[in-house]
């Protein structure tokens, strides 16, 4: 998001103080864009992080304005109560983490009770913000499967998130910490292994042919052993099981065609009607192909 877009999103009437803040925030976001764009320079990251802290600290006592700024802030950001409970999360963070709803996260997730944060040794670091310090976590890596389990995240085609995270306190006039903010700069988002996608695509293109483990693995540019292990890890199925399930789904489509006999439906899928596939069909679907076809007629 460029400077002009940020200003346009805040084009409602502002006081001079609010306008001054938004100008400061815009400059900070511009610096963030430079970093996120891959032009990290020694010392620049800390300068931007310090600017960001200063920007948010200037509106700590203006809760409505703070909430609005966080809502429209172009990078993932969360605000936590001093006990570690999520207080505010913006849409950018919801989208990044894959959280189903804000309501399922705010008031429920606690960073200090997160076993993964403890396992990485980051909990004690983050607690330093309660002493008024700014904390920088570099290359914080989180398995997306873990996030699905503990963040109630949407199951999507992501394997790992790796981010730089800046945590800083927002301080009351008396010097005590009101809450703290965590801003995420995504360095890398690893989606499901491309090799898996290539393997799936090969199977779905060659499903009418006899299964060939070597050719399927070659399409994924992996050894047969490595590909099978990786495929099972990410899909819960072996490549051969995926192949069989895909063929069954295609056969079911043909069996639904009233213009085809059972034998013709098998032939259209290049499957031998008298072979072992009919038995596998019953094991997977629960009924024989002939019963399945009759069931579709009776439903009509």
Query: What is the pLDDT averaged over residues 2-21?
Result: 47
Question: What single string gives the DSSP state of each residue in 98-166?
Answer: TBS-STTTTTT-BGGG-HHHHHTT-HHHHGGGGGT--EEEEEEEEEHHHHHHHS-B---SEEEEEEEEE
CATH level 3 topology of 194-299: Arc Repressor Mutant, subunit A (1.10.10)
Instruction: Identify the pLDDT of residue 242.
Output: 94
Q: What dihedral do alpha carbons 98, 95, 234, 195 form, nearest 10°?
A: 180
pLDDT in tens, 209-222: 999 999 999 998 88
pLDDT in tens, 263-290: 999 999 999 988 899 999 999 999 999 9
Query: What is the pLDDT averaged over residues 77-82?
Result: 93
pLDDT of 126 over the 50 cut: yes
Scored b (16 or more CB within 10 A) or e, 93-110 reads: bbebbbbeeeeebbeebe
Tokens of 188: 């890398």
Average pLDDT, the chain: 79
Task: Determine how β-strand 135-143 pairs with β-strand 86-89.
Answer: unpaired
CA triplet 176, 54, 7: central angle to 5 degrees?
130
Q: In angstroms, rounded to a whole number, what is the distance separating the alpha carbons of residues 25 and 73? A: 9
* Shared fold status for 3-191 and 194-299: no
- Superfamily in which the 3-191 domain is placed by CATH: PAS domain (3.30.450.20)
Any idea where the domains of the chain sit in the sequence?
Answer: 3-191, 194-299
Instruction: Identify the pLDDT of residue 295.
Output: 79
- The rounded Cα 77 to chain-centroid distance in angstroms is 15
Q: Is 197 helix (H, G, I), strand (E, B) or coil?
A: helix
Tokens of 110: 């606690």
Share of the chain above pLDDT 70, in %: 70
* pTM, to two decimals: 0.54
Q: 172, 133 in Cβ contact below 8 A? A: no
Q: In what order do the strands lie in the sheet with 86-89?
A: 86-89, 77-80, 177-191, 158-171, 135-143
Report the 10 Å Cβ neighbour count for 34: 14
**Element spanning 250, H or E:** helix 239-255
């Amino acid at each position: 998001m460029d400077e002009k877009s940020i200003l346009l999103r805040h084009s409602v009437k502002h006081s001079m103080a609010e306008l001054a803040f938004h100008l400061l925030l815009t400059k900070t976001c511009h610096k963030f864009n430079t970093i996120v764009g891959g032009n990290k320079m020694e010392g620049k990251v800390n300068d931007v992080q310090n600017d960001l802290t200063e920007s948010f600290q200037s509106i700590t006592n203006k809760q409505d304005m703070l909430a609005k700024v966080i809502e429209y802030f172009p990078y993932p950001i969360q605000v936590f109560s001093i006990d570690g409970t999520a207080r505010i999360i913006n849409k950018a963070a919801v989208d990044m983490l894959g959280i189903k709803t804000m309501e399922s996260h705010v008031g429920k997730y606690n960073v200090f009770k997160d076993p993964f944060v403890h396992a990485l040794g980051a909990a004690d670091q983050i607690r330093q913000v309660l002493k008024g310090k700014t904390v920088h976590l570099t290359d914080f890596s989180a398995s997306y499967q873990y996030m699905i389990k503990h963040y109630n995240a949407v199951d999507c085609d992501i394997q790992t998130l790796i981010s730089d995270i800046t945590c800083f306190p927002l301080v009351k006039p008396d010097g005590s910490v009101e809450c703290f903010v965590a801003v995420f700069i995504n360095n890398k988002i690893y989606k499901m292994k491309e090799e898996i996608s290539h393997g799936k695509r090969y199977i779905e293109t060659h499903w009418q042919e006899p299964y060939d483990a070597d050719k399927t693995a070659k399409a994924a540019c992996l050894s047969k052993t490595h590909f099978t292990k990786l495929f099972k890890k990410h899909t819960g199925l072996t490549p051969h099981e995926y192949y069989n399930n895909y063929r069954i789904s295609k056969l079911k489509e043909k069996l639904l065609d009233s213009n085809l006999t059972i034998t013709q439906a098998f032939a259209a899928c290049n499957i031998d009607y008298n072979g072992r596939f009919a038995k596998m069909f019953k094991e997977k679907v629960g009924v024989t192909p002939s019963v399945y076809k009759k069931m579709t007629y009776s439903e009509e």
